[in-house]
Amino acid sequence: MMTIQLSREANKPLYLQVADQLRMQIENGELAPDTRLPASRRLARQLGVNRITVVNAYAELEAEGLVVSRVGSGTFVAAPDRPYQPDKPASAQPAANIRPWTAHQTLTEMARLSHQPGVISFAAGAPASELLPVNQFRRALNDVLRRDGAEALQYEQATGYWPLRDSIAVWLRRQNIPVKGDEIIITTGCQQALDMALRMLTRSGNGVLMVEDPCYLGLLDIVNSRRVSPIGIPLDEHGIQVEWLEPLIRRHRPQLIYVTPTFHNPTGATMPLERRQALLDIAARCNVPILEDTSYDALRYEGDPLPTLKSLDTADIVLQAGGFSKTLVPGLRIGYLIVPPLLHRRLIATKQTTDISTSPLNQRALYTYLQSGHFDQHLRRVRQAYQERRDAMLTALARHFPADARWRTPDGGMYIWVEMPASGPAATDLYMAARNYNVAFAIGSVFSASGSFTHAMRLNFVSNSPADIEEGIRRLGKAWKELLEDFTTPDAAYQPAMHIL
């Protein structure tokens, strides 16, 4: 007979306690193959828990191939000699078993969910598909092929298509960055720019990189693949807390500091001018270069632009990475990297060993598009739409989330960082519950070099319509409210949020 003992005082979530005990009974032979497990509602009543708890426990076991769900029949223990063949439709499949929520696993899961029918996903880092300038890029591609013919399909030099590099240099000079076209390297997206900088300046296996905590997930994925140790710098509402920086540098001797000063991913924070200057002063004094990520700088909805670190750099210690994936067309995969002159030859050699050259057709199409003058018009359009979507999400959060949840209004970028009550379920538990409502988000702890922020989530507010944002946040709020019943007494109060920090 199946027995399950639960402890509400234990640190482990209830659904994992259920899954662990069922797993043990399956592996010990106490639950034989083809044994039908109790219906989720019945088992939930027997255990005195919410049905979501049992559903998530069964999903864990199904992801491991220990049980199988048969439509119209129930959930059964899988036969050990029979491959696991779930008969649920694709849209109802449980998410991959992504514990312990590594950066790589989370990136894979976010990409999967972004293409899952019926799922409202706030998880990925993509812009809005319906706002991409498809027709204008089609014309740019056709113009390039008519003008350049086969030349547009041949290898390009490693540094990139010269007219595009020069065009980017002109754009950067308008931001008071004194750069020439031959100082810019075109990369396959900003992600490759970050990877190349790490390859040049950190030692695989024993290198040290200082990062914001929390930090861009893709950067942590690179760090993990290169076996570099990330050291987290604490953040507040104004970005990294520079008073922590010098003691950490003296202690850990990093080869590089990575920061996103404007519209930080994932928190949306922006460093004020005085902190930017303090960061530069400390890095110069300690002789540590800075890698500046400017991916979101152009997506400003309020306030005046702040100077980039590169434009303030008088010690020539800043490497700047940027690109067009967030502001224009992600699929083009065009980014760039600017480095101090002493590193330029090493950068070219690194690029040549990475992928020889970035797509010449895409580079030429981007250059043609930029020359058409449509980019500024496109930016105005997406800024207006994204600001409306940001405000829609803020309104929905205030309506559907608990009063003690905390978030701030970002002046730009793509994300709202939400910290749920620490007394309630962790974000991983909410993610599991939210799957059953066909809504997804990015779990906060995967953005942390220290594994912190277990009750936080990152929400992308640009990739869904205002109506879908309202519906998705409503579903998340409902999932939270139901999940909370497993963590609190029956008469615990739940109040909708009425304010925004």
Secondary structure (DSSP) of 86-146: --S-GGGPPPP--TT--HHHHHHHHHHHHTSTT-EE--S----GGGS-HHHHHHHHHHHHH
Coil, helix or strand at residue 314: coil
Q: What does the DSSP 8-state code read for residue 246?
A: H
Whether 347 contacts 337, CB under 8 Å: yes
pLDDT mean for each 10 residues of the chain (501 residues) = 77 81 86 88 83 79 80 78 36 36 61 72 93 95 96 93 96 94 94 94 86 94 90 94 94 95 97 98 96 97 96 96 94 94 90 89 96 94 98 98 96 98 90 90 91 94 97 96 71 39 35
Q: Can you say whether the dihedral through the CA atoms of 171, 176, 181, 185 is positive or negative?
A: negative
**pTM beyond 0.85:** no
Coil, helix or strand at residue 48: coil
CA-nearest of 426, 460, 432, 459 to 445 is 426
Identify any residues that bridge with 212 across adjacent strands, giving them in sequence order: 233
CATH number assigned to the domain covering 103-124+377-484: 3.90.1150.10
Whether 212 contacts 264, CB under 8 Å: yes
**Cα separation values, 74 from 38, 86, 94, 210, 255, Å:** 8, 12, 15, 50, 56
Rounded Cα gap, residues 296 and 292, in angstroms: 11
> pLDDT at position 109, please?
66
Nearby residues of 401 by Cβ (< 8 Å), 6 or more positions away: 418, 420, 473, 476, 477, 480, 496, 497
> pLDDT at position 91, please?
32
> pLDDT at position 300, please?
97
Angle at which helix 51-63 crosses helix 466-484, to 10 degrees, equals 100
Q: How is domain 14-88 classified at the CATH fold level?
A: Arc Repressor Mutant, subunit A (1.10.10)
Extents of the domains making up the chain: 14-88, 103-124+377-484, 134-372
Rounded Cα gap, residues 25 and 437, in angstroms: 29
Phi and psi at 299, nearest 5°, equal -95, 65
134-372 architecture in CATH?
A: 3-Layer(aba) Sandwich (3.40)
> pLDDT at position 325, please?
93
Element (H, E) at 155: none
> pLDDT at position 106, please?
63
What are the structure tokens assigned to 223, written together? 């760090």
For the chain, state the CA radius of gyration. Answer: 25
Rounded Cα gap, residues 284 and 328, in angstroms: 34
Amino acid at 360: P
CA-nearest of 6, 95, 18, 94 to 57 is 18
